């Protein structure tokens, strides 16, 4: 049926499609940046031009589907369906399938050199682990599914937040997941990242990242990596669990040759398996932090901003003091070792404008830093705490919550 409602020179058309086919149409159109109405129009045109009928499509359970088509197109399509002896629903389903078959989804964009993102701040409690996990989850979401993203988030607007943390759904855009192959490295002996994702820390008697960095490997490092078993990541999100032997890492590194490159030597054999490796650093400024910083340096032939340091802070004064100490150490390494080391930005975590002037004025101070600049503001909301309690990835536990949306925006900002 058609409706007098128009969009330009088109008429609103209401028919039915199976939900699975409608979802494929929606995802593919988003992947290719095409309006659904244009995709359906193109599919109908192609179907009408076929010399013979296609195999029937199972349309059981078809649900209402509306789009806008040129009036002449719909009238001709109805006539062709009648001539071919198929229902309008079957003809429309075949037309959509023709368009899907002739317009395959784009290949996932992968970096030429594995991205290495070092998430750090020697101050504990700022939420480095949550940012590491959330950004990694956002990068790994399946490209054949749509996820809510706020692409053009204006952080400055948070300064005028009246305390209402509800998200306006009209401000969101459904986009395909990024489909990156992601490794999360729990480089903190406390093992918070490992435990939050429902995994066990590695036993002291077995192999570990620490052993590989110290030159005492007991096997292949990939043998201790585990996959995060959630459908929305499609098997692309992996974790290198922590081991409490990392408490001794600085001592063991003291006798290692070229110790600043120890993390790179340990991870080099598995880098080809991944597009992005995120390092959840310990709250430390010791040798382990030097090794992590060195790992994030820009390599020969690597474009600026592909890898680097992501600093997590909070909107309060003690974070500013810790930030100064961290950046001083980073600058010393840059100078002493002649490193090209990029800042990927600052993430202001646990932000809540309801805390008043201290929070808002501190956020304003972070926003005034232009190099590195603020690339994300993550609210202090209950869903993250709930996800930790049930030991599930946040983006699987609450994929549409404000924090998940903000973490997707962060992932797209630092991995353009």
- Tell me whether residue 301 is in a domain: yes
Are residues 145 and 95 part of one domain? no
- 216 & 268 share domain: yes
Dihedral sign computed on CA atoms, order 185, 285, 265, 347: positive
Is residue 108, in this structure, part of any structural domain at all? no
Number of structural domains the chain divides into: 2
In a domain, 57, yes or no: yes
Which two three-digit tokens encode residue 262? 């120890």
In the Cβ-directed half-sphere of 17, how many Cα atoms lie within 13 Å? Answer: 20
Note whether 179 and 214 are same-domain residues.
yes
**Domain span including residue 47:** 2-102
401 and 257 within one domain: yes
Q: Say whether both 138 and 268 belong to one domain.
A: yes
Long-range interactions of 388-393: CB distance < 8 A, separation 24+ = 388/130, 388/196, 391/195, 391/196, 391/197, 391/198, 392/197, 392/198, 392/230, 393/133, 393/137, 393/197, 393/228, 393/230, 393/233, 393/237
Q: What is the DSSP letter of 243?
A: B
Question: pLDDT tens per residue, the chain (416 residues)?
Answer: 555 555 557 889 999 999 999 999 999 999 999 999 999 999 999 999 998 889 999 999 999 999 999 988 999 999 999 999 999 999 999 999 999 999 999 999 999 999 999 999 888 788 899 999 999 999 999 999 999 997 554 444 444 444 444 445 446 888 999 999 999 999 999 999 999 999 999 999 999 999 999 999 999 999 999 999 999 999 999 999 999 888 888 888 888 888 999 999 999 999 999 999 999 998 887 888 899 999 999 999 999 999 999 999 988 877 777 888 888 888 888 888 889 999 999 999 988 888 887 788 888 888 988 889 999 999 988 999 999 999 999 999 999 999 999 999 999 999 88
Residue 189's region, left for phi above 0, alpha for psi from -120 to 50, else beta, is alpha
Domain boundary among the residues 70, 102, 134 is at: 102
List, in order, residues 6 or more apart from 206 with CB less than 8 Å away.
218, 224, 243
The helix or strand, by DSSP H or E, that contains position 312, with its residue range, turns out to be strand 308-314
pLDDT tens digits for range 206-264:
999 999 999 999 999 999 999 999 999 999 999 999 998 888 888 888 888 889 999 99
Q: What pLDDT does 5 receive?
A: 55
Please tell me the number of Cα atoms within 13 Å of 194 on its side-chain side: 21
Residues 130 and 97 in one domain: no
> What is the SS3 assignment for 159?
helix
Tell whether 107 is covered by a domain: no
**Which residue in the block uniquely carries the two structure tokens 């840059």?**
334
**Residue 320 domain-assigned (yes or no):** yes
pLDDT, one tens digit per residue, over 96-118 is 999 999 999 999 999 999 999 99
pLDDT over 90, % of the chain: 68
CB 359, CB 315: distance < 8 Å: yes
In a domain, 109, yes or no: no
Q: Are residues 377 and 270 in the same domain?
A: yes
Q: What is the pTM of this model?
A: 0.87
Return d(Cα 132, Cα 402) in angstroms, integer. 17
What per-residue confidence (pLDDT) applies to 55? 92
CATH code at position 208: 3.40.50.300
**Tokens at residue 319, please?**
């974070």
pLDDT in tens, 286-298: 888 899 999 999 9
Domain finish residue from 102, 124, 146: 102
55 & 197 share domain: no
Residue 110 in any domain: the answer is no
Tokens 């003091």 — which residue? Answer: 321
How would you classify residue 308: left for phi > 0, otherwise alpha for psi between -120 and 50, otherwise beta? left
Question: Same structural domain for residues 399 and 310?
Answer: yes
Across 18-139, where does the E strand assignment appear?
A: 63-70, 115-120
Domain end call among 42, 74, 102: 102
Residue 115, CA atoms < 13 Å, CB-side half-sphere: 26
**Residues 52, 188: one domain?**
no
Pair (335, 210) in one structural domain: yes
| Co-location of 299 and 219 in the same domain | yes
pLDDT at 157: 46
């Amino acid at each position: 049926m058609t409706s007098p409602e128009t969009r330009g020179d088109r008429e609103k058309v209401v028919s039915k499609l199976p939900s699975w086919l409608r979802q494929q149409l929606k995802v593919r159109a988003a992947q290719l940046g095409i309006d659904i109405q244009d995709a359906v129009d193109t599919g109908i045109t192609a179907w009408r031009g076929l010399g013979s009928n296609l195999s029937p499509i199972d349309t059981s359970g078809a649900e209402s589907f509306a789009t806008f088509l040129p009036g002449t197109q719909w009238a001709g399509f109805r006539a062709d369906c009648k001539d071919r002896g198929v229902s309008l629903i079957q003809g429309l389903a075949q037309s959509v399938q023709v368009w899907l078959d002739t317009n395959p989804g784009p290949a996932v964009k992968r970096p030429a050199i594995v991205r290495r993102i070092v998430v750090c701040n020697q101050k504990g409690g700022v939420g480095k682990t949550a940012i590491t996990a959330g950004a990694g989850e956002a990068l790994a979401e399946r490209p054949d599914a749509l996820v809510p993203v706020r692409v053009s988030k204006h952080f400055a607007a948070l300064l005028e937040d009246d305390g209402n943390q509800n998200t306006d759904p009209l401000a969101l855009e459904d986009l395909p997941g990024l489909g990156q192959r992601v490794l999360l490295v729990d480089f903190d002996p406390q093992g918070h990242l490992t435990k939050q994702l429902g995994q066990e820390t590695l036993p002291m008697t077995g192999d570990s990242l620490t052993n590989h960095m110290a030159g005492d490997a007991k096997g292949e490092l990939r043998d201790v990596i585990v996959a995060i078993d959630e459908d929305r990541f499609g098997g692309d999100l992996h974790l290198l669990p922590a081991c409490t032997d990392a408490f001794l890492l600085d001592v063991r590194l003291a006798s290692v040759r070229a110790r600043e490159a120890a993390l790179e030597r340990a991870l080099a054999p598995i880098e080809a398996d991944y597009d992005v490796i995120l390092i959840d650093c310990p709250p430390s400024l010791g040798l382990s932090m030097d090794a992590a910083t060195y790992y994030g340096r820009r390599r020969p032939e690597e474009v600026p901003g592909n890898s680097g340091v992501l600093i997590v802070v909070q909107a309060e004064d003690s974070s500013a003091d810790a930030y100064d100490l961290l950046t001083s150490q980073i600058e010393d390494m840059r100078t002493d070792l002649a490193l090209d080391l990029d800042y990927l930005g600052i993430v202001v975590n646990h932000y809540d404008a309801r805390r008043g002037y201290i929070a808002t004025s501190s956020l304003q101070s972070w926003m005034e830093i232009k190099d590195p600049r603020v690339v994300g503001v993550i609210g202090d909301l209950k869903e993250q705490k709930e996800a930790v309690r049930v030991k599930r990835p946040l983006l699987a536990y609450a994929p549409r919550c404000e924090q998940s949306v903000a973490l997707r925006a962060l992932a797209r900002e630092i991995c353009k």
